[in-house]
Amino acid sequence: MSNSIAGSVPGRSRGKVWSVGGLLLAAVLGGYWYFNHASTGNTGRVNNVAPVRIAKVEKRDMAVIDRSLGTVLANTLVQVSARVQGTLEKATFKEGQFVHKGDLLFQIDPRPFQVALAQAQAAYQRDQAQLENALRDKQRFTELNQKMQGSTSAQQRDTSSSNAAALAATVAGDKAAVDLAELNLGYTQIRSPIDGKTGAVLIQPGNMINGTGANGAPLVTIAEVHPVKVSFTLSQAELPRIQARQRNGQILAVLDVQDATGHNLAAPVDFIGNIVSSQSGTIELRATFPNEDLSLVPGQLANATVQLETIHDALVIPREGVNDSPSGPFVFMVEGEKAKQVPVNVLFDDGTSVAISGMVAPGASVIIEGQLRVVPDGKVRILDGQTPNGDEQPKRENKGNIK
């Protein structure tokens, strides 16, 4: 009997252990199922509602603008060269100085040209004296032949007349030589042909320079910097708008450069090219700026903006609201708590806003952020405290915690 009782005690202990283990396993499996099911259900409910941000459709006039990179050009650019050969004695200006038309810039050694002028003048005076003597001889033979016929021969009369004519031609040549010598002497003083700003001196005083004119090495470059021109190009696709704008008024070019008062520089376009570049498919436009404050420098790059047209009463939305699809652009319009896909036509995109046309009414709300999670006719959730109309909800006052 004692053996049976002793053997039954371990059996009951093992049964209790198995019972407790089964209960613990059931509890673990039940908890895993509960939490996994709850998590999956909540994720599904969240994913079915897309968080988005919206903006209202505005009805207003929108300017059709085009932007291009422009280059500042000097109104006139002159390379100053010597016209006579000689030693460059001095420069009478500082590099970068503003000069006026007629100001002395360089001096070439004038002494050889002064000697040449003196020689030409001496030859002119000599031949002038000989011409006067020949004219007296001609007059004398003519008078003698008239008063006393036979006192002089016709040959003598004709010879005196020919000598006078030849000397007259010689004197005319001498006068031309004097004028040329005076001109060359004047070329030893190199003066500014325009008003402008000088560049660097390219040939320093002391050097021998050649009088090869425009084909020679320039001594300095002068740029007329007020006014200046800004050259930029537009696509040939804009030609109809450019021509229409030119017929109806003027095209205004606005630069991203500000003047001394802080305003962007603007000037009317006064030149439109007569050809379209076959390489780039663009046409050149130019605008002239007074540049009194010298805010523009030749060679400088500046962004130019021109207004080519105005779309009146356009439906305008942020450009982020337009989506592309194989069938064309569209927007997601929020109606209630759902997103409706509406096809639209893009009239103009200025990089920030877009003018559209289609079945969209002014004041409607379109989605501008979060479109990747939006499905047509699917539910959406407006972020940032906005209402479906795009207005911000009023903030609630914090009156403390209510228990």
What digits encode the pLDDT tens for the residues 81-114?
999 999 999 999 999 999 999 999 999 999 999 9
Provide the 8-state DSSP code for 238.
G
Pick the CATH number of 51-62+312-382 from 2.40.420.20, 3.20.20.150, 2.60.40.1180, 2.30.40.10: 2.40.420.20
Count of CB atoms within 10 A of residue 23's CB?
10
* Third-level CATH fold of 66-73+226-311: Elongation Factor Tu (Ef-tu); domain 3 (2.40.30)
User: What is the DSSP track for 53-107?
Assistant: EEEEPEEEEEEEEEEEEEEEEEEEEEEE--SS-EEEEEE-S-TT-EE-TT-EEEE
What pLDDT, in 10s, does the model give residues 134-164? 787 777 767 666 666 655 566 666 677 778 8
* Third-level CATH fold of 83-108+191-218: OB fold (Dihydrolipoamide Acetyltransferase, E2P) (2.40.50)
Can you say whether residue 335 is alpha, beta or left, with left for phi > 0 and alpha for psi between -120 and 50 degrees? beta
Length of the chain, please? 403
What pLDDT, in 10s, does the model give residues 209-253? 987 654 568 999 999 998 999 999 999 999 998 998 888 888 999
- Mean pLDDT of all residues belonging to the chain: 83
The pTM assigned to this predicted structure is: 0.66
